[in-house]
Amino acid sequence: MFAVAAAAVLVALALTITRAIKGPTVFDRLLAGNTVGTLAIMLLGVVGFLTGRPEFLDIGLTYGLLNLIGTLSVLKFFRHGDLAHDSEAEPGT
Amino acid sequence: MMLLVEVASWALILLGSFFTIVGALGLVRMPEVFTRMHAASVTDTLGVGFLILGMCLQAGLSLITLKLLFLMLLFVFTVPVVTHALAQACLHEGVEPALTHDGGCTRSTASDQRRQQ
């Protein structure tokens, strides 16, 4: 039954990657990238249970933190054009 | 008792698989970026939640269950933050939600065409 869950997550990954390739704006691609990260964590857990080694969940926890930081930093880069942005230099934002 | 736990965990995992696919399908089919965020949150809350609960029932009372619950807690805290930041960045860049009284959502909205990159 974990094979069914793994197949479902793989189908969802394929659909999400379709959106990441097609998506007209950069925000669609970012949203798809974030969902790919979520689905990769679920795939790690499910395949870990499928092969009888659930220790892969540690990697999933690390990847969850990286996913948050990655998406937020790309968003900040697209908003300000700079990662080390000085908020006082640009009034009104 | 064992059988009950097995049946419950398989039902939860099947529900989680269903909601994961539904969310990804919405991500492909929805017409513009705000509705796509709405569809993606189905995967991030219901899909992940049901899958993790099902895996918790399979793992029993052990360290694995604790790790799974921490993973769920991580999702509960980070996914709203990311979605909020994404929506704020969209509005800041001038991508507006398509409203019904402005002509509604067609397959390719005006904001999609304006932001084409």
What are B99's two structure tokens? 């409203």
User: Considering its fold, how many domains does chain B have in total?
Assistant: 1
For residue B114, what pLDDT is reported? Answer: 57
Confidence of residue B115 (pLDDT cuts 50, 70, 90): low
**Average pLDDT value for chain B:** 85
**Which residue of chain B comes nearest to A37, CA vs CA?**
B44
Tell me which residues of chain A, numbers 35 to 64, contact chain B at a CB-CB cutoff of 8 Å.
35, 38-39, 41-42, 45-46, 49, 54, 57-58, 60-61, 64
CA–CA distance, B117 with B113 (Å, rounded to integer):
9
For residue A93, what pLDDT is reported? Answer: 47
The sign of the CA dihedral B94, B96, B101, B102 is positive
CB A46 within 8 A of CB B16: no
Quote the pTM value.
0.83
Confidence of residue A81 (pLDDT cuts 50, 70, 90): confident
The answer, yes or no, to whether residue B112 has pLDDT greater than 90, is no
Residue spans per domain, chain A: 2-80
From the number of C-beta atoms within 10 Å of its C-beta (0-12, 13-18, 19+), residue A45 rates as buried
CA–CA distance, B1 with B67 (Å, rounded to integer):
24
Q: Is A4 on the interface with B (CB under 8 A)?
A: yes
Tens of pLDDT, residues A51-71? 988 888 899 999 999 999 999
More confident: B46 or A91: B46
Q: Determine the structural domain holding residue B62 and report its residue range.
A: 2-114
For residue B101, what pLDDT is reported? Answer: 64
